[in-house]
């Protein structure tokens, strides 16, 4: 008779199940580590040092700053499990920061948090967890892992306001098998904070991190100019009809959909509709020019059943999310290669930008079918 499954879905008693808890020092990951330790699991806390803390210690809201490492260590001491700090600064710079800077220079709008999950936390850290003899790795992300008939599935969190599926679409099937997300079924952040108080954690009322961890005061351009001197070269602000309306102070200072701060006068409101980094042009137009019906995507990660390219005639019927703040919208996803696709939106989405993610969801229900990176729009 097979051994009964523990709360993490593994056929072992908790005391014989080693879990690496990825700890950022915030309330979410701290609660996960405390909960698992309380249940009797063999917990090993790990915090990643991802960047130069000296430049960020004065910054509020950084996910892995020096104060956060201290908070993570304090949680581990309170609950009685070992805690390690791993220096991933070089890995993080090469895998995340360098691409972030290059993407902005190319006129894209990157999302480094997704790349960090994909290339650092769920790749290198997961490998470290295996080397530590862990049976799985637990994180404080708000998302659900469900054991389906064809293996583990990714599902949206129970709390739609906290759902982080947009940032985790690139999680692979292999990674999903080794990951656990204990907070995915909680219905509110208030519930998480109450659990922190119940476990006696000093971080119970700690504010959530809001900014990208390596961007002090949220100033992306300062980081890019430091990494790529001369990046903020001025150029022309050009209307879609070709009329030169003024000059700008560098393409990296603008994003698609931006209206304010353009420094130009016009009878009707104008929005940034395209960034041409090669020509150093910021292209503007009316609001309707922001509308997008077709999106070309690459680097598709498919988490659906079967092969991505074995789509039914006409493509996969999905809901897709093209920005983290937008709800999923109906669309048809048509594979054009093993990891490429064309997405046809049933309606019109505004502000779609290359460099952002396009995440696939089931037409009904909470399942996440993966997604890809936006390359083109029309």
Structural domains of the chain, with CATH: 14-218 (3.40.50.620), 232-285 (2.30.30.280), 291-377 (2.40.30.10)
> Is beta strand 329-337 parallel, antiparallel or unpaired with respect to 340-350?
antiparallel
Is the distance from CB of 180 to CB of 126 less than 8 angstroms? Answer: no
Nearest to 20 by CA among 5, 12, 8: 8
Nearest to 83 by CA among 141, 122, 34: 34
Query: 103 by DSSP, 3-state: which?
Result: helix
- Token pair 């936006």 is found at 374
Q: Could you list the active site residues?
A: 116, 213
Whether the model pTM is above 0.75: yes
Name the CA dihedral angle for 367, 372, 374, 376, rounded to a multiple of 10 degrees: -110
Per-residue pLDDT of the chain (378 residues; tens, 9 = 90+): 677 899 999 999 999 999 999 999 999 999 999 999 999 999 999 999 887 644 443 444 444 457 889 999 999 999 999 999 999 888 899 889 999 888 888 888 888 899 999 989 999 999 999 999 999 999 999 999 999 999 999 999 999 999 999 999 999 999 999 999 999 999 889 999 999 999 999 999 998 876 677 776 667 788 888 888 877 889 999 999 999 999 998 888 898 999 998 989 888 899 999 999 889 999 999 999 999 999 999 999 999 999 999 999 999 999 999 989 889 999 999 999 999 999 999 999 988 989 999 999 999 999 999 999 999 988
Nearest to 328 by CA among 357, 299, 304, 307: 357
């Amino acid at each position: 008779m097979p051994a009964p499954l523990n709360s993490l879905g593994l056929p072992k008693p908790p005391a014989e199940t080693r879990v690496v808890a990825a700890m950022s020092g915030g309330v979410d990951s701290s609660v996960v580590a405390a909960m698992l330790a309380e249940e009797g699991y063999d917990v090993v806390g790990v915090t990643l040092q991802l960047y130069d803390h000296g430049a960020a210690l004065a910054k509020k809201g950084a996910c892995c700053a020096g104060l956060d490492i201290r908070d993570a260590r304090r949680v581990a001491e309170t609950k009685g499990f070992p805690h390690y700090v791993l220096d991933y600064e070089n890995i993080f710079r090469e895998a995340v920061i360098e691409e972030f800077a290059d993407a902005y220079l190319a006129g894209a709008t990157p999302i480094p948090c997704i790349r960090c999950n994909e290339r650092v936390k769920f790749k290198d850290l997961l490998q470290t967890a295996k080397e530590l003899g862990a049976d799985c790795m637990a994180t404080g992300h708000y998302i659900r892992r469900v054991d389906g008939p064809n293996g583990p599935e990714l599902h949206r969190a129970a709390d739609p306001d906290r759902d982080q599926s947009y940032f985790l679409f690139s999680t692979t099937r292999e990674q999903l098998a080794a990951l656990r997300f204990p907070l995915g079924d909680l219905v509110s952040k208030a519930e998480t904070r109450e659990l922190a108080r119940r476990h006696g954690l000093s971080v119970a009322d700690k504010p959530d991190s809001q900014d990208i961890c390596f961007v002090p005061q949220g100033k992306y351009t300062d980081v890019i100019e430091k990494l790529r001197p001369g990046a903020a070269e001025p150029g022309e602000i050009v209307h879609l009809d070709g009329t030169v309306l003024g000059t700008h102070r560098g393409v990296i200072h603008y994003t698609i959909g931006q209206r304010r701060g353009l420094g130009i006068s016009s009878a009707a409101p104008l929005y940034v509709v395209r960034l041409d980094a090669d020509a150093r042009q910021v292209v503007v137009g009316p609001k309707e020019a922001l509308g997008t019906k077709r999106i070309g995507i690459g680097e598709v990660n498919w988490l659906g059943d079967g092969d991505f390219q074995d789509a039914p005639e006409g493509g996969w019927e999905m809901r897709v999310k093209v920005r983290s703040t937008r709800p999923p919208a109906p669309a048809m996803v048509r594979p054009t290669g093993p990891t490429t696709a064309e997405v046809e939106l049933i309606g019109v989405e505004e502000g779609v930008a290359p460099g952002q993610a396009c995440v696939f969801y089931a037409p009904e229900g909470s399942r996440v079918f993966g997604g890809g990176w936006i390359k083109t729009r029309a």
